[in-house]
């Protein structure tokens, strides 16, 4: 900050455990907007604090997402083994601590899905343990994986290698679509390198699973040309469920660019109209002001008739370069 000669206070860092520091900041009248990345419980606590202020303020919270990956039939048949190996690479990235981690895989059961599962099994069993960010995050991950392991309707496919304290052991599980649809607990995010494969009877059941999902940051379609119709059937649902829809990639890659949308319906974020990555993210912290009939001397330079800043502007709705 000093090297760039930025004003003091542009960047500050406060350390502490629990929600107390965050809630104190959000409650301070000098704070006018909040960006947050963390758990659903932490984000909703800050939202309540912000709304309880004498002057409520917006909280742009990014909280919870399991980022479903749909394996469509032709793609699964053509490259199921390769998809299984690549999937585990994305799952393990950063010990699974990416908010876009692929925590759910959805496909029609059969020999093609079995091939995917076998490839994923081998990749998971070869996965080394990775240190997680904090002991608390590791503890929550252990509890989430234990909940999946102990569920009657869930079977464990594979576990990765064990490690020392606070290291994440990769976990891969599977359940039928009917059991998934009947259990809210199976939709809960497990923050870490854990994923659940949902085995569907047919394309209609794939669509029912998609329709029951909560709001997500991402939804992924692995597809070939022969899967176009199946993808078209899913797309209207996914557009309502996710902020970013991608094909034949993995959701853990997030590019900082003009087109990026890193947001989605609740509980992925608290405001589905915004993004926290990409150039549009600045709009979260801007407020429109209209200058009506002000004399030239009072207008900001960007709005003066002569355009002294030489910026690109909209004049009467038309772009002026």
**Mean confidence (pLDDT) of the chain:** 95
pLDDT of residue 286: 93
Low-confidence winner among 68-77, 161-170, 219-228 (lowest mean pLDDT): 161-170
Positive or negative, the Cα torsion across 306, 309, 311, 314?
negative
Mean pLDDT of 165-179: 96
Are 241 and 280 in the same domain? no
Are 269 and 304 in the same domain? no
Strand partners, 109: none
Catalytic residue among 4, 8, 85, 99: 99
Are 169 and 282 in the same domain? no
Are 183 and 216 in the same domain? yes
pLDDT of residue 320: 86
Are 93 and 78 in the same domain? yes
pLDDT of residue 57: 97
Residue 264 gets which letter from DSSP? -
pLDDT of residue 106: 98
Q: Give dist(CA 67, CA 246) in Å, integer.
A: 11
SS3 string of 66-92?
Answer: CCEEEECHHHHHHHHHHHHHHHHHHHH
The size of the chain, in residues, is 321
pTM: 0.92
Helix (H) or strand (E) holding 105: strand 104-108
Q: Give dist(CA 138, CA 100) in Å, integer.
A: 18
pLDDT of residue 62: 95
Are 83 and 105 in the same domain? yes
Strand partners, 196: 104, 173
Helix (H) or strand (E) holding 229: helix 228-241
- Catalytic annotation present for 99: yes
Domain span at residue 321 reads 294-321
Are 115 and 240 in the same domain? yes
pLDDT of residue 290: 95
pLDDT of residue 10: 87
Q: Give dist(CA 30, CA 283) in Å, integer.
A: 19
Are 50 and 81 in the same domain? no
Which is nearest to 165 in space by CA: 186, 141, 189? 141
Mean pLDDT of 212-238: 98
Are 266 and 305 in the same domain? no
Are 241 and 109 in the same domain? yes
* Confidence bin at 216 (pLDDT 50/70/90): very high
Are 151 and 111 in the same domain? yes
Q: Is the pLDDT of residue 18 over 80?
A: no
Are 147 and 224 in the same domain? yes
Structure confidence by residue, pLDDT tens digits, 81-120: 999 999 999 999 999 999 999 999 999 999 999 999 999 9
Structure confidence by residue, pLDDT tens digits, 37-76: 988 998 999 999 999 999 999 999 999 999 999 999 999 9
- Catalytic annotation present for 200: no
Structure confidence by residue, pLDDT tens digits, 259-310: 999 999 999 999 999 999 999 999 999 999 999 999 999 999 999 999 999 9
Name the pairing type of β-strands 194-200 and 171-176. Answer: parallel
Catalytic residue among 4, 62, 199, 305: 62
Q: Give dist(CA 82, CA 203) in Å, integer.
A: 22
pLDDT of residue 20: 85
Number of compact structural domains in the chain:
3
């Amino acid at each position: 900050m000093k090297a760039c000669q930025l004003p003091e206070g542009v960047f500050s860092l406060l350390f502490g455990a629990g929600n107390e520091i965050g809630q104190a900041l959000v409650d301070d009248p000098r704070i006018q907007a909040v960006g947050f990345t963390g758990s659903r419980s932490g984000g909703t606590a800050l939202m309540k604090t912000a709304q309880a202020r004498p002057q409520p303020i917006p909280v742009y919270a990014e909280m919870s997402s399991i980022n479903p990956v749909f394996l469509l039939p032709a793609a699964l048949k053509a490259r199921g083994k390769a998809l299984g190996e690549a999937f585990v690479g994305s799952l393990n990235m950063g010990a699974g601590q990416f908010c876009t981690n692929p925590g759910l895989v959805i496909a029609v059961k059969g020999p093609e899905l079995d091939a995917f599962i076998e490839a994923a099994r081998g990749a998971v069993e070869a996965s080394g343990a990775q240190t997680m960010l904090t002991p608390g995050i590791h503890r929550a991950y252990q509890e989430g994986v234990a909940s999946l392991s102990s569920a009657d309707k869930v079977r464990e496919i594979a576990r990765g290698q064990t490690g020392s304290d606070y290291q994440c052991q990769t976990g891969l599980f599977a359940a039928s679509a009917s059991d998934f649809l009947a259990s809210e607990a199976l939709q809960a995010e497990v923050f870490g390198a854990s994923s659940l494969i949902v085995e569907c009877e047919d394309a209609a059941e794939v669509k029912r699973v998609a329709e029951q999902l909560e709001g997500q940051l991402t939804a992924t379609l692995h597809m070939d040309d022969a899967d176009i119709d199946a993808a078209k059937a899913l797309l209207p649902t996914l557009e309502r469920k996710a902020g970013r829809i991608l094909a034949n990639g993995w959701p853990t890659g997030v590019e900082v660019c003009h087109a990026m949308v890193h947001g989605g319906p609740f509980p992925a974020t608290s405001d589905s109209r915004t993004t926290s990555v990409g150039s549009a993210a600045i709009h979260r912290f801007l407020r429109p002001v209209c200058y009506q009939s002000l004399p030239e001397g009072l207008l900001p330079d960007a709005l003066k008739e002569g355009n002294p800043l030489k910026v690109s502007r909209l004049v009467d709705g038309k772009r002026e370069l």
